[in-house]
Each structure stands twice: as structure tokens, then as C-alpha cells.
Amino acid sequence: MTSYYASKNGRMGQVEQPGPQTWIHLVPPFSSEELPEIAARYDLPIDFLTDPLDIDERSRYEREDDARLIVINTPVLSRVETENDSIYITVPIGIILTPEALITITSTPDHPVLQLFIDNKLRNVDPARRNHFVLRIFEHTVYRFLTCLKRLNVKRNLIEQELYDSSRNRELKQLLSIEKSLVYFINALNGNELLKMKMKRADFLGIRHDEDMWDLFEDIIIDNGQALEMANIYTNILNGTMDAYGSIISNNLNITIQRLTLITIVLTVPMVIASFYGMNVPMPLQNGNYTYLFILLLSVFLSFAVIFYFRRKRLF
């Protein structure tokens, strides 16, 4: 599906036909001829349009004649809703710059970063200022990473509170899904940082002469590094948390089994005495009037003696 957007009076709006100052946005589903037509119209290699649709595509930039491609990875919510899968995954956005057009393409409809531009939630955004528009996509991609990292950290704290008295695996599985999300984030942020550093060094966008945009680009690189550092810190904390609470769950289970074993031992004492007097053989005091009371008291006494012993050994 192809959509066209342009800025009018400071607001982004959809238009019917593309022009030199419009933003062309491509999202699935595509007809069989849609992408080849776009490639032929703007003299693009078809790879420029198909590569960003690969969810595993790495962050990179490429130049082919007058066309430039930038692929940057961004976080989105995972569509798989099981507790064993990651909460977030990363998908690429393809940004294509040609003399006639600014094109974005992604495999995710309603992409959270690009949707900010479509829904007019950002100020001072104009597709006619192409380099600035690309930098704003970079900027809000980093902000999206930071927001998702904070949400993952809040979720981790809530799960930790449930783990203190838990002996179940459900909470550990939830922590594992957070860990998977952080692995995706670290890989994507590393790739994005390397991409931006190379673009800055090669002045791929041609903004070195513009001090404001150059400063914005440097700020984006710094924020990307901050997001990467946060992801690494949260991963280290999570690894330690999973190890610690795995031990806690195991220890809770051991304590439960130990208590059940001790209770079984205490209850076994009267059973042993009763079993002796239940045999069909002569036994001491078997004909006495107070034999039953004697057996009962002896069982209680020995049971409390066993309990006292275990208490002295701090097993109860």
C-alpha cells in the first residue's frame, strides 16, 4: 500500500499524488506490480525496496547512482503473545532518498515511529527538508528505544516483587521474554550506532555545513549510546536477577521438601510403636489395664523428643 504525505501550514496531511516535496510511505500489503512500478518510476534498484522488508536486515546505508538507501532498526511490540517469546522485536525501516522523492518502507503497518509523523504528533516536520526529516526519524527511533527500555525495566521490577515468595516457573519465563527483548535491542542499537558513526564520518546526508542539523545528528548519536548503555545495564541486572531468583525458587522447594520429610519422621515414631503392639506375638504389658494409655503417652513423648532434637539442630 502506497501513501503520500505533505506538510501544509505546519501540519502533515495525506495527498492524492506525489510531488517533489511529498513523503512516500510504503507498507504491506503490496500488489505484485506495486514495488516494481515504484522502482521503475524513481530509477531505483528493486533491492532498495525489498531489503527493508526482511525482518533480519542489518542497519546499513548504500548509494546507487543518485539514489541513497538507509536501513535502520526500530523496536515494535511482538505480535506473538506467548510468555516464552520476547515482548519487543526490532524491524528495519528503509529510507530512500532520490532527487525526486523521499520514500520510507517497512514491513510493519502502523509503525510506532512513523505513525508519529502521520498523526501530526511532532512539530517542525516537513518532508521538503529531507535531511532534517531523516534526522527526526533517527531521533524518534532512539526515543522509542528509551521508552521501551523503561517499560521493560518497570515490568522487571514488578516480576521481581512476585518472585520473593514464588516457587513457580511462570515469573522466570516472563524474565526470559524480557531478556530476549533486550538482546534484540542491544544488537539493533549496536548496528544503529555503527551506521550513524559511518554516516557522520562520510557526511552521507551532506549536512556538515549546516550547524543546527550537524549538532542534532551528534545529539542523536549520544542518545543512541545512552540507550545502548541502558540496555547493557538492564541485561546485566536481569541476568543476576534470574540467577538469584532461580536459586531462591530452588531453595524454597528444598525447604518445603525438608519440612515434609521432618513431619514424616515425627509421625513415623508412633506408627512404629503401634506396629509392634499390633503384631500377633506376646508383648510386654499387653494384658495390663493401662497399656493403651502407656503406648499413647510413649508415642507422644518420643514424638516430642524427636521434635526437640530437630529444633536443637535448627531443622524446624
The 10s digit of each residue's pLDDT in 36-59 is: 888 888 888 899 999 899 888 999
DSSP 280: S
DSSP 122: S
Interatomic CA distance for residues 57 and 184, integer angstroms: 13
How many CB atoms within 10 Å of residue 136? 21
Interatomic CA distance for residues 52 and 243, integer angstroms: 37
Q: Which three cell numbers stand for residue 144?
A: 522509542
Give the pLDDT band (50/70/90) at residue 253: confident
Whether the pLDDT of residue 134 is over 90: the answer is: yes
* pLDDT, position 200: 92
> Poorest-confidence range of 39-53, 78-92, 98-112, 139-153?
78-92
Interatomic CA distance for residues 265 and 218, integer angstroms: 70
Whether the pLDDT of residue 284 is over 70: the answer is: no
The 10s digit of each residue's pLDDT in 169-197 is: 677 788 888 889 999 999 999 999 999 99
The 10s digit of each residue's pLDDT in 139-149 is: 999 999 999 99
Give the pLDDT band (50/70/90) at residue 81: low
> Poorest-confidence range of 17-26, 118-127, 227-236, 276-285?
276-285
